Amino acid sequence: MSLGGTWSYASGNYLTAPEVHYLITVENQQYLIEQYGSKNNLKLPAYHRLDVGIHHKKDLGNARQTWSFTVYNVYNRQNVFYVNSTLNSNRGLSFQPVFYITCFTISQLCNRVLNIAYIYSW
């Protein structure tokens, strides 16, 4: 049985965000026009997360079975995944949630692998 963990950190990326939004109506169709200012005018917050996993390996003749349970983003940090400019400012950011992976693997000496994984998030 083994237990592992990884902590990832990255400083916030810069992006060029629109400074002014115009909503224009042409023939009953609305269009969002964005005016950009200087390059890299916005810095996103730092990205960090903790991933942990536990793995149980057992040899069965010439095959090895492995059960793995992994949790990504253990402390549910709301890391910005991407930024999208929309008419509704509440929908502009996407965050990376906590998610879990349960995996069962059987491998043989002749390099054949059966891998079954189940991924779920909240």
Whether 30 maps to a domain, the answer reads no
Dist CA 106 CA 100 (whole Å): 20
* pLDDT for residue 105: 75
Whether 20 maps to a domain, the answer reads no
* pLDDT for residue 6: 94
Whether 53 maps to a domain, the answer reads yes
Residue recorded with tokens 């693997």:
105
For every residue of 49-76, which 3-state class applies, written as one string?
A: EEEEEEEEEEEECCEEEEEEEEEECCCC
What is the mean pLDDT of each successive set of 10 residues along the chain, which is 122 residues long?
A: 94 88 89 89 91 88 84 88 65 67 71 64 56
Whether 26 maps to a domain, the answer reads no
Looking at the DSSP assignment, which residues form a beta bridge with residue 73? none
Q: In Å, how far are 33, 71, 103, 122 from 55, measured between CA atoms?
A: 51, 12, 9, 22
Whether 23 maps to a domain, the answer reads no
Q: Domain residues for 69?
A: 2-11+45-121
Whether 17 maps to a domain, the answer reads no
Whether 87 maps to a domain, the answer reads yes
The number of distinct structural domains making up the chain is 1
